[in-house]
Structure 1
Amino acid sequence: MTQQPTPDTIRAVAAAISRAEIHDDRMTSDPARLRVWAETCQPHGITDTALACRAVDEHYTRPDADTLRVGTFVGTYRRLRAIDAEADKGSAVAALPAGDPQSGGLPIAAEGEPVWAAYDQHGAIDLPCETCGAGEREACVNLSTKLTRKIPCTSRTAHGYRKARR
């Protein structure tokens, strides 16, 4: 049983078929082709008209391109969408604020009431902190804001881990 295509899928497929007609005299647009392509594309979430046109253009830039088939179109569209998603993800990660060097570069908010269970890990609470200068049984302090930290500096935890392994 086929899914009823959404208006966005129908628009994207119509744009793709129209674009293919421009590239290829052998491609024709008719209601039956549009319906079958839209039904085939619906489960794949093909809704972006611009991306659909890019998929068609990419197909026809190949030197050995023959008439575009729906399966080839779906595969190219999905590959381009994945590439775009990775690029967007990379941009989002690059836009993150620089991580806290006291937390191993992780972008976490560590200021606040100390979570003593975190300080107990590997006996870190019983060691002075080499990074922020907190003494034994004291909470670490953010060097930038001078506020206490919920969790110990990574160097303090690592020191406790190394000491516990001996």
Structure 2
Amino acid sequence: MLDDDVTLLVVPGWQDSGPNHWQTLWERGYPFSRRVEQADWQRPDKDAWVAALAATVADIDGTVVIAAHSLGAVTVAHWAAGADYAAFRRVKGALLVAPPDVERADVVAAVPASGFSPLPLLRLPFPAILVASRSDPFCDFARAGDFAAGWGAKLVDAGDAGHINPASGHGPWQAGQRLLQTLMLA
């Protein structure tokens, strides 16, 4: 369970997280949770997505633990590359799951996103765990390792887990919940 003073902040990726996605299930299961809402889930714009994340964090009282998936994880990296140190101090940690390689040509061609490349590889100003799959169609495991190293995040090998979403068999994703708890209790 989460502490009463910690808000779980869900940061979905492209097309939002549907009703059976682990993010949605976690959000429903934790009484102190919020979801970053984007104006356009179909055509992500980095500046708009980062602004929505910043506004949501600013609207939360107390500390925050972030659970970000896919392009949501990339959004967190871009937000953290900014200069809002007051907001960063309130972030207890971030679970960054299956970030796509927004610099890879086939990913850029598949996702109609704007402005997410180049990806900042600056050390995050809060503890982070990056979970990557060896069979993610949007990011090679070695590249995810580069992200983790740049961000100062602990890299967790999810094995052959696809994009770590419902299509790859990840509903409630209890292994992810255990990782989230390590950030909550840190």
| TM-score of the aligned structures, taking structure 1 as reference length | 0.20
Q: Per chain length, whose mean CA-contact separation is higher, i.e. which structure has more relative contact order (CA < 8 Å, sep 6+)?
A: 2
Q: TM-score, with normalisation over the residues of structure 2? A: 0.19
| Structure 1 or 2: more helix by fraction | 1
**Higher gyration radius (CA):** 1
